[in-house]
Structures are given as structure tokens and as C-alpha cells.
Amino acid sequence: GQQVMQIPQYQHVQEGEDFTTYCNSSTTLSNIQWYKQRPGGHPVFLIQLVKSGEVKKQKRLTFQFGEAKKNSSLHITATQTTDVGTYFCAVAKSGSSNTGKLIFGQGTTLQVKP
């Protein structure tokens, strides 16, 4: 079945340092979504990547979709304490873009020391 691995599981950084989380799939993906969950909150949609090699930016956040559409990354430049939370990728298997059956990675929890 569809499997998605997300690494690292935890990351502690000093405020101002960069942070990257990776999402790897065993199968080709039709698209990938990224979510952020603040402590005690619910996941909130950040972005969706669809095209091979796609790169999207949101202020200090850079999202990449691999050329083979099997992996993705989220990079945060110069972290701030407001970046604290857990970042999830969510995927649908290639050829199933319309099923809605989104599978979430285990998440990467980011802690930022001020």
C-alpha cells in the first residue's frame, strides 16, 4: 500500500537557523500537500505541489517536489518562534488524484529556541 516516510521526526534549532523536512514515497505521487499543526491545534493547509521539479515559495518557506515525483521537501530559512509546530506532508497515490484518500506522513516536529 501507499507509504510515505517523513524525516526527521524531531528537530530543535536555534532561532535564526534554517530547517528542512523531507517526505519520501515508495510510489510515484500525483501531487503532495503540506500542512502545519501548532501545538494543541489542528492541521492547516500550507501548499500543494503538482508538477515534477516544482518549487514554490511562501515568504521564508520553500517547497520542492522531486523530479521523479517520489519525494518533497520543506525548507524554512531563518526560523522564528512562530514556526514552532509539526509539519506534515500528505499524498495521494499516482493515478488516484481524484480519490481523496490522502495519506499523511508521520510529521516533523520543530522546536525553536529563542
**Is the Cβ–Cβ distance between 61 and 6 less than 8 Å?**
no
Phi, psi (5° rounding) for residue 4? -135, 130
- The answer for residues whose C-beta is within 8 angstroms of residue 96's C-beta and 6 or more apart is 30
Rounded (10°) CA dihedral 114, 63, 89, 78: 0
Report in angstroms how near the CB of residue 59 gets to another protein at its nearest: 18
Report in angstroms how near the CB of residue 97 gets to another protein at its nearest: 5
Nearer of residues 77 and 109 to another protein, judged by Cβ: 109
Phi, psi (5° rounding) for residue 20? -140, 135
Report in angstroms how near the CB of residue 78 gets to another protein at its nearest: 26
Contacts with another protein, residue ranges (CB under 8 A)? 6, 30-31, 33, 35, 41-45, 48, 50, 88, 90, 92, 97-107, 109
Nearer of residues 18 and 45 to another protein, judged by Cβ: 45
Nearer of residues 13 and 50 to another protein, judged by Cβ: 50
Nearest of 97, 85, 83 to residue 32 by alpha carbon: 97
Nearer of residues 7 and 78 to another protein, judged by Cβ: 7
Report in angstroms how near the CB of residue 47 gets to another protein at its nearest: 9
